[in-house]
């Protein structure tokens, strides 16, 4: 049997993870319970984003990428393609650890033509290449909702992903320091009203760029 401690409500603490060998040694029922605990933890971590997107927590998953014919892909099931706003997910490795320290969230858009566009495997999931995924910018979503979802650039190496082309390096560094727990009342007012009144210059610039679109 496996045991997991109850996580504190922080942005960094993860449930204890089993090694891949330990996970595979579990019986199917234990595997299902273990994955459910990790999924609940994931949804709790991204709860502010889920609320801002206006989607059900059931529309939020994790995916483990793998290689197929030399291309990195994820498996997407038919019911995930048909969700109204598509599927939102974070990328995990095979031991269910986040592959990205920034905890990037991705989106597969609603698609009724998935059977024609993607190959199906023996697990009845459709293989979507990683370079077709869309990156979700949680800060933009807080202001403008799902319109902040943008096309992702192609992957670089392994499971390292570049930001959308229009995002500058210095802006990324500022985003990394701006947690939801650090949001001020002034920041919240600025985002809700669309007025650039925050004391964070990058947030004001983001609001201005959204207004001008």
Reported as a single tens digit per residue, the pLDDT across 19-50 is 999 999 999 999 999 999 999 999 999 999 99
Length of the chain: 213
Q: How confident is the model at residue 145 (pLDDT cuts 50, 70, 90)?
A: low
Q: For the whole model, what pTM was predicted?
A: 0.64
- Whole-number percent of the chain with pLDDT over 70: 72
pLDDT at 40: 95
pLDDT at 184: 74
Average pLDDT over residues 2-10: 36
Q: Measured between alpha carbons, how far is 24 from 32 in angstroms, rounded to an integer? A: 11
List the alpha helices (DSSP H) in the chain: 20-25, 28-45, 47-53, 78-81, 114-117, 138-144, 169-177, 185-193, 201-211
Q: How confident is the model at residue 121 (pLDDT cuts 50, 70, 90)?
A: very high
- Based on the number of CB atoms within 10 Å of its own CB, is 48 exposed (0-12), middle (13-18) or buried (19 or more)? middle
Structure tokens at 157: 């190496």
């Amino acid at each position: 049997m496996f045991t997991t401690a109850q996580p504190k409500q922080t942005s960094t603490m993860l449930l204890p993870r089993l090694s891949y060998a330990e996970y595979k040694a579990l019986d199917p029922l234990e595997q299902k319970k273990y994955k459910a605990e990790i999924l609940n933890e994931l949804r709790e971590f991204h709860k502010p984003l889920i609320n801002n997107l206006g989607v059900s927590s059931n529309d939020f998953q994790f995916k483990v990428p793998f290689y197929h014919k030399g291309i990195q892909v994820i498996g997407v099931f038919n019911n995930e393609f048909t969700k109204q706003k598509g599927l939102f997910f974070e990328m995990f490795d095979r031991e269910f650890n986040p592959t990205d320290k920034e905890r990037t969230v991705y989106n597969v858009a609603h698609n009724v033509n998935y059977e024609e566009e993607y190959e199906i495997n023996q697990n009845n999931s459709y293989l979507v290449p990683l370079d077709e995924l869309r990156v979700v910018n949680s800060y933009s979503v807080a202001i403008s909702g799902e319109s902040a979802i943008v096309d992702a650039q192609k992957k670089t190496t392994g499971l390292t992903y570049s930001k959308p082309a229009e995002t500058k390096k210095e802006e990324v560094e500022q985003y990394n320091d701006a947690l939801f727990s650090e949001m001020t009342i002034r920041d919240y007012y600025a985002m809700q009203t669309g007025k650039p009144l925050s004391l964070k210059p990058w947030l004001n610039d983001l609001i201005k760029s959204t207004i001008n679109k």
